[in-house]
Homo-oligomer: A and B are copies of this chain.
Amino acid sequence: MNQQLRGLARTYLPILDWGRSYGRGELSGDLIAAVIVTVMLIPQSLAYALLAGLPAEVGLYASILPLVAYALFGTSRALAVGPVAVISLMTASALAPLNLSSVSEYVAAAGVLALLSGAMLLLMGALRLGVVANFLSHPVIAGFITASGLLIAASQLKHILGVPLHGHTLPEILLDLARHLGQINLATLVTGIVALAFLFWVRKGLAQVFHARLGLTKPLAATLARVGPIFAVIGTTLAAWVLNLPSLGVAVVGEVPTGLPPLGLSGVDWGLVPALIGPAALLSIIGYVESVSVAQTLATKRKQRIDPNQELIALGAANISSSLSGGYPVTGGFARSVVNFDAGAETPAAGVFTAVGLLVAALFLTPLLYFLPKATLAATIIVAVLSLVDLSILSRAWRYSRADFAAVFATIALTLLAGVEVGVASGVLISLLLFVWKTSRPHVAEVGQVPGSQHFRNILRHKVETDPGVVTLRIDESLYFANARRMEDLILNRVLRDRDSLRHVILMCSAVNEVDFSALESLEAINRRLDDLGVKLHLSEVKGPVMDRLARSHFLEDLTGRVFLSQYDAFAALRMNRADRM
């Protein structure tokens, strides 16, 4: 019993596992990684909060307790959770239709969204439903992330240009933009462009400077370069203060409350729950997929393992703690996790140290952010999300298969034109329908024996031996209701073409992984109809599980022909019979 409890505790609290052997080596790695990630996270968390339509400090709050919660429950050693771009966009899109009147109501609604999302993730984890995420195909995810990146970048143009934009779809944003083109604020535009240019240079240039001038190794230089955005923050904040840019119309972050995050849920309108359930579900699944794939990749590099179902629980706990400490929905982020990993984080303790760093920022640094231009934060977001945009997925999918292309194209087009929720839901639906459509039209080959071998190949592609009395059809798909009737027609038409000489039809089932009840009835119908035509039906190479199932019906007793273990046996036996008769 005690043993069992301890096992349970170790499953649900992985910290008991790595915490036990925590030593000085782990500590130094974790501390260095935490410093770098903290400096990287400060501007990012402020920027993503603005993207979600929330006050800047909400981003900081969402980067404190959630990191501690993940450190307790998470199975990845290097995942860094917090606000991320796509989830922030989805939060904005979920809150917009609520038409709330005050900022504090928005903040409370974002908390409810995080709470719902956390509860769903916990529930999925408890039910071990991590598999649900599998129904998001790679092209749909890639298309969705690319389209979201474009949407986010477009939506941030307002901060760079200093004009108000309100749309949540690309046409709305572009129309708004065209309407306000005359009102562009020059000082804001200059600030934004300088910040953008600096940040684009930082991505490549800063690492070279660190490497060439400071003599750091290339990987270390690359990792340190990830703190680059903080220089843009410091530079433009100083410029805004010294040059008094707000007087020229440059929007700045302004008053940010100092202190601990507010604990508990306050001012929550529980009437919002029904409207937020759907968005919370989509956001949870997208966040989970993004987080787990990052965690998986990093874990394998160090030959570690993650537990997908425990990850659901950890992300659920992170979101619930975010909702209880003034935050909004969070998940594991790609860029920050890679930085954390590269900077040497050994255990989730790095996340706790990062949380302490951000707590310090929330306690003492917020007054310094008064003059931080919103254009700088927008530039941070644009540079970050443009690295997510990968339109090559379109051409790669096109080259590989038209069905995958259709799914990715529809996801991108609908996300841009109709918003994130419609986009991702349609993508999932379209990929399921295309899969069913494909399996409903299976590849069927008429095969013959390769001379001098026991192999059977497509008669259209290979020079093979056939027999006028026997036709063998190899069915390259599981037999189920959507293709069962097609199979009936196909076999019947083939038999009627040679009805005078044909005596035997063999179905070669090496690729038939399943025969459902509809297909069983179709096989029975085929068997009866062929019998009416004086033709016997045989099966070959039927798999064990399929055979087990067929044996539960009357089919094998009613079958006019036999079931052969191998196609070679079948062909040899049936053509021999014919030879006897001649």
Contact = CB atoms under 8 A, between A and B. Distances in A.
Interface stretch (A8-16, A352-360, A480-488): A480-488
A308 B135 CA distance: 34
A212 interface: no
A528 B517 CA distance: 40
A4 interface: no
Contacts of A549: 400-401
B400 A480 contact: no
Contacts of A399: 552-553
A435 B436 contact: yes
Interface string A131-165: 10111111110000000000000000000000000
A480 B435 contact: yes
A466 interface: no
A467 interface: no
Interface string A181-205: 0000000000000000000000000
A391 B478 CA distance: 27
Contacts of A180: none
9 contacts: A135-B440, A137-B482, A137-B516, A303-B533, A400-B520, A408-B517, A477-B513, A510-B511, A511-B543
B476 A135 contact: no
A300 B492 contact: yes
Given A400-B552, A436-B435, A477-B513, A138 B301 contact: no
A492 to B, nearest CB: 7
Tell me how many chains of this kind the complex includes. 2
Contact of A518 (B139, B308, B492, B543): B139
A141 to B, nearest CB: 9
A436 B440 contact: no
A573 interface: no
Interface in A288-316: 296-297, 300-301, 303, 305, 308
Which of A308, A403, A518, A545 has the most CB atoms of chain B within a 10 A radius of its CB? A518
Nearest to A136: B481
Interface string A447-472: 00000000000100100000000000
A431 interface: yes
A269 interface: no
B401 A484 contact: no
A211 interface: no
Contacts of A511: 510-511, 513, 543
Q: Which 8 A-B pairs have the closest CB atoms?
A: A137-B481, A404-B517, A138-B518, A300-B529, A137-B518, A476-B513, A138-B521, A134-B485
Contact of A442 (B436, B442, B477, B513): B513
A493 B306 CA distance: 10
A442 to B, nearest CB: 7
Nearest to A303: B533
Contacts of A499: 303
A213 interface: no
A458 B543 CA distance: 11
Which of A404, A477, A514 has the most CB atoms of chain B within a 10 A radius of its CB? A514
Contact of A138 (B296, B401, B442, B481): B481
Given A397-B517, A431-B481, A532 B136 contact: no
Contacts of A478: 439, 477
B443 A436 contact: no
A438 interface: yes
Given A489-B308, A552-B399, A496 B303 contact: yes
Interface string A396-418: 11011101100010000000000
Contacts of A493: 305
Contacts of A404: 516-518
Nearest to A520: B400
Nearest to A546: B476
Which of A134, A301, A477 has the most CB atoms of chain B within a 10 A radius of its CB? A134
B513 A401 contact: no
Interface in A236-295: none
Contact of A131 (B397, B486, B510, B533): B486
A544 interface: yes
Contacts of A513: 442-443, 476-477, 511
